[in-house]
Amino acid sequence: MKIHKEGRRILFVTLLVLLALNLLLSRYNGPNVVFNRIFAGVSVVAFLTLLQFFRSPFRRLLTHEDLLLAPADGKVVVIEEVFESEYFEDARRQISVFMSPINVHITRNPVSGIVRYFKYHPGKYLLAWHPKSSTDNERTTVVVESDAGPLVLFRQIAGAMARRIVWYVNEGDEVSQGEEFGFIKFGSRVDVFVPLDADIKVTLGQKVKGGETVLCQLKG
């Protein structure tokens, strides 16, 4: 396992601040040993929590052109037929993966293909499971023409804690299944929209791993 590039600066600054605070307490609050030890313990826990958030574990990626992989680690919170109004303007099957603060927050390409559409939307920071978060929150929308043929749309959606979305793709890019397409800092969700005839392979409440778990099979 390694530390993701999006977290290295944050971790370095946090480590310096915590070390400085503990040194100051040790020097100027010496008689209050119990408080200093509690603060030191809290500092260690806080840093380790931040460290695990930015972890980038090794993944043995499963790739196949007609399989759509989970774009992120988390739990499946939505599987339903919806009207997708931004790009397709027709009915699609939506699969949503909620990422808690303890999940890996790398987002991965669910399919290989060509990026046909990309747009960043500034917006609100509603709770990630709020019904309107998919359309009202800060988000990115990516549409990929998959190697299997069907177009697949997926969104990074910011939540109440997530205040920054990072993306690494643009229109016209060729993307590979399982590779990183972005990062969401501090908890959120990813929505995927697939054709209605896609064969869904997951269930509500199921925990999934980005780049490993198959969400559905596309009909070529």
- Catalytic residue list: 188
Helices (H) and strands (E) in the chain, counts: 3, 16
Confidence of residue 125 (pLDDT cuts 50, 70, 90): low
Q: What is the pLDDT of residues 60-117, one digit of tens each?
A: 777 788 999 999 999 999 999 999 999 999 999 999 999 887 888 889 999 999 999 9
At residue 129, the pLDDT reads 57
At residue 126, the pLDDT reads 62
What mean pLDDT comes out for the span 12-36?
A: 88
At residue 209, the pLDDT reads 92
Please give the model's pTM, rounded to 2 decimal places.
0.80
2 vs 20: CA distance, rounded Å: 25
Alpha helices in 66-120 (DSSP H): none
Other beta carbons less than 10 A from residue 174's beta carbon: 11
Q: Map tokens 């009909």 to a residue.
A: 219
94 vs 83: CA distance, rounded Å: 9
99 vs 58: CA distance, rounded Å: 18
Q: Looking at the predicted structure, is the pLDDT value of residue 25 above 80?
A: yes
